[in-house]
Amino acid sequence: MIKKVLLKIFREGIGGLMALVSYLTTPSKVKRSSEEQEKVNTEVQKLSLYQYFTCPFCIKVRRHIRRLNLPMEYRDAQVRGGEHRNTLEQEGGAAKVPCLRIEADGKVIWMYESNDIIAYLNKHFDPTFKPNS
Ligand SMILES: N[C@@H](CCC(=O)N[C@@H](CS)C(=O)NCC(=O)O)C(=O)O
Protein backbone atom coordinates (compact mmCIF):
# COMPACT_ATOMS: atom_id res chain seq x y z
CA MET A 1 0.00 0.00 0.00
CA ILE A 2 2.74 2.49 1.07
CA LYS A 3 4.86 1.33 -1.88
CA LYS A 4 1.95 2.06 -4.22
CA VAL A 5 1.44 5.56 -2.79
CA LEU A 6 5.18 6.35 -2.98
CA LEU A 7 5.30 5.12 -6.57
CA LYS A 8 2.31 7.33 -7.45
CA ILE A 9 3.95 10.38 -5.82
CA PHE A 10 7.22 9.66 -7.67
CA ARG A 11 5.42 9.21 -11.01
CA GLU A 12 3.37 12.37 -10.59
CA GLY A 13 6.46 14.32 -9.44
CA ILE A 14 8.42 13.30 -12.53
CA GLY A 15 5.38 14.02 -14.71
CA GLY A 16 4.94 17.46 -13.14
CA LEU A 17 8.60 18.25 -13.71
CA MET A 18 8.36 17.13 -17.35
CA ALA A 19 5.25 19.29 -17.81
CA LEU A 20 7.11 22.30 -16.40
CA VAL A 21 10.25 21.77 -18.53
CA SER A 22 8.09 21.21 -21.61
CA TYR A 23 6.14 24.41 -20.91
CA LEU A 24 9.29 26.47 -20.39
CA THR A 25 10.94 25.17 -23.56
CA THR A 26 7.97 25.33 -25.96
CA PRO A 27 9.20 26.27 -29.43
CA SER A 28 7.86 29.51 -30.83
CA LYS A 29 4.22 29.51 -31.81
CA VAL A 30 2.99 29.37 -35.37
CA LYS A 31 2.01 32.86 -36.52
CA ARG A 32 -1.13 33.50 -38.57
CA SER A 33 -2.99 36.55 -39.74
CA SER A 34 -5.88 37.45 -37.44
CA GLU A 35 -8.38 36.18 -40.05
CA GLU A 36 -6.57 32.86 -40.31
CA GLN A 37 -6.35 32.56 -36.54
CA GLU A 38 -10.10 33.26 -36.25
CA LYS A 39 -10.77 30.42 -38.69
CA VAL A 40 -8.49 28.09 -36.77
CA ASN A 41 -10.15 29.06 -33.47
CA THR A 42 -13.54 28.14 -34.91
CA GLU A 43 -12.24 24.80 -36.23
CA VAL A 44 -10.65 23.98 -32.88
CA GLN A 45 -14.02 24.30 -31.14
CA LYS A 46 -14.81 20.91 -32.67
CA LEU A 47 -11.89 19.34 -30.83
CA SER A 48 -11.15 18.49 -27.22
CA LEU A 49 -8.26 16.64 -25.65
CA TYR A 50 -8.89 14.07 -22.95
CA GLN A 51 -5.70 13.95 -20.93
CA TYR A 52 -3.82 13.78 -17.60
CA PHE A 53 -1.61 16.69 -16.60
CA THR A 54 1.41 14.50 -15.78
CA CYS A 55 1.12 11.84 -18.53
CA PRO A 56 4.25 12.08 -20.76
CA PHE A 57 2.27 11.28 -23.92
CA CYS A 58 -0.21 14.05 -23.05
CA ILE A 59 2.65 16.47 -22.38
CA LYS A 60 4.02 15.71 -25.85
CA VAL A 61 0.61 16.40 -27.46
CA ARG A 62 0.01 19.57 -25.42
CA ARG A 63 3.40 20.86 -26.54
CA HIS A 64 2.33 20.52 -30.19
CA ILE A 65 -0.99 22.17 -29.43
CA ARG A 66 0.82 25.17 -27.92
CA ARG A 67 3.24 25.34 -30.84
CA LEU A 68 0.36 25.27 -33.32
CA ASN A 69 -1.38 28.01 -31.32
CA LEU A 70 -4.64 26.09 -30.91
CA PRO A 71 -7.04 27.25 -28.18
CA MET A 72 -8.08 23.69 -27.39
CA GLU A 73 -10.27 22.55 -24.52
CA TYR A 74 -8.51 20.09 -22.21
CA ARG A 75 -10.60 17.57 -20.29
CA ASP A 76 -8.99 15.97 -17.26
CA ALA A 77 -9.75 12.24 -17.38
CA GLN A 78 -7.56 11.19 -14.47
CA VAL A 79 -10.15 11.09 -11.69
CA ARG A 80 -11.75 7.64 -11.45
CA GLY A 81 -15.51 8.00 -11.57
CA GLY A 82 -15.13 11.59 -12.84
CA GLU A 83 -17.36 12.89 -15.63
CA HIS A 84 -14.67 13.10 -18.31
CA ARG A 85 -13.15 9.71 -17.51
CA ASN A 86 -16.58 8.07 -17.68
CA THR A 87 -17.35 9.72 -21.01
CA LEU A 88 -13.97 8.70 -22.42
CA GLU A 89 -14.42 5.11 -21.32
CA GLN A 90 -18.03 4.77 -22.45
CA GLU A 91 -18.00 6.76 -25.69
CA GLY A 92 -14.34 6.48 -26.70
CA GLY A 93 -13.97 2.84 -25.73
CA ALA A 94 -11.03 3.01 -23.30
CA ALA A 95 -9.88 5.06 -20.32
CA LYS A 96 -6.58 5.78 -22.05
CA VAL A 97 -5.00 9.17 -22.67
CA PRO A 98 -4.28 11.20 -24.66
CA CYS A 99 -7.43 10.96 -26.73
CA LEU A 100 -8.61 13.61 -29.17
CA ARG A 101 -12.38 13.96 -29.52
CA ILE A 102 -13.20 15.21 -33.01
CA GLU A 103 -16.62 16.38 -34.17
CA ALA A 104 -16.81 16.01 -37.93
CA ASP A 105 -19.80 15.89 -40.29
CA GLY A 106 -22.24 15.24 -37.46
CA LYS A 107 -20.14 12.33 -36.16
CA VAL A 108 -17.74 12.02 -33.26
CA ILE A 109 -14.35 10.39 -33.72
CA TRP A 110 -12.22 9.33 -30.74
CA MET A 111 -8.57 9.36 -31.72
CA TYR A 112 -6.14 7.57 -29.37
CA GLU A 113 -2.32 7.41 -29.73
CA SER A 114 -0.24 10.55 -29.30
CA ASN A 115 1.57 10.14 -32.64
CA ASP A 116 -1.73 9.86 -34.55
CA ILE A 117 -3.10 12.92 -32.76
CA ILE A 118 0.02 14.95 -33.57
CA ALA A 119 -0.09 13.83 -37.23
CA TYR A 120 -3.78 14.87 -37.41
CA LEU A 121 -3.08 18.29 -35.86
CA ASN A 122 -0.10 18.91 -38.13
CA LYS A 123 -2.12 17.96 -41.18
CA HIS A 124 -4.98 20.30 -40.30
CA PHE A 125 -3.27 23.21 -38.57
CA ASP A 126 0.44 23.41 -39.43
CA PRO A 127 0.87 25.97 -42.24
CA THR A 128 4.21 24.37 -43.17
CA PHE A 129 2.70 20.88 -43.45
CA LYS A 130 3.54 18.99 -46.64
CA PRO A 131 1.95 15.61 -47.38
CA ASN A 132 4.45 12.72 -47.15
CA SER A 133 6.87 14.86 -45.18
N1 LIG B 1 0.98 4.64 -27.03
C2 LIG B 1 0.13 5.53 -26.30
C3 LIG B 1 0.45 5.41 -24.82
C4 LIG B 1 -0.58 6.13 -23.95
C5 LIG B 1 -0.49 5.68 -22.49
O6 LIG B 1 0.16 4.71 -22.14
N7 LIG B 1 -1.17 6.45 -21.65
C8 LIG B 1 -1.26 6.09 -20.24
C9 LIG B 1 -1.08 7.31 -19.37
S10 LIG B 1 0.59 7.92 -19.47
C11 LIG B 1 -2.67 5.59 -19.97
O12 LIG B 1 -3.64 6.13 -20.45
N13 LIG B 1 -2.77 4.54 -19.18
C14 LIG B 1 -4.04 4.03 -18.76
C15 LIG B 1 -4.35 2.75 -19.42
O16 LIG B 1 -3.60 2.31 -20.30
O17 LIG B 1 -5.37 2.19 -19.05
C18 LIG B 1 0.30 6.95 -26.82
O19 LIG B 1 1.36 7.26 -27.39
O20 LIG B 1 -0.64 7.76 -26.71
Report the chain's terminal Cα–Cα distance, integer Å: 48
DSSP states along 53-96:
TT-HHHHHHHHHHHHTT--PEEEE--STT-HHHHHIIIIISSS-
98 CA to centre of ligand 1 in angstroms: 7
For atom 1 of ligand 1, the residue with the nearest CA is 113
Domain extent listing, the chain: 2-30+40-125
* 44 membership: H or E segment, kind and range: helix 34-44
**Does pTM surpass 0.85?**
yes
| 109-128 per-position pLDDT tens digit | 999 999 999 999 999 999 88
114 lines ligand 1 (CB under 6 A): yes
Whether domain 2-30+40-125 has CATH 3.40.1710.10: no
Spans in the chain with pLDDT lower than 70: 133
Q: What is the pLDDT of residue 82?
A: 96
37 CA to centre of ligand 1 in angstroms: 31
Contact 23, 48 (CB under 8 A): no
Query: Under 8 Å CB-to-CB from 96, ≥6 apart: which residues?
Result: 88, 112
Q: How far is residue 128's CA from residue 123's CA, in Å, rounded to a whole number?
A: 9
Mean pLDDT of the chain: 94
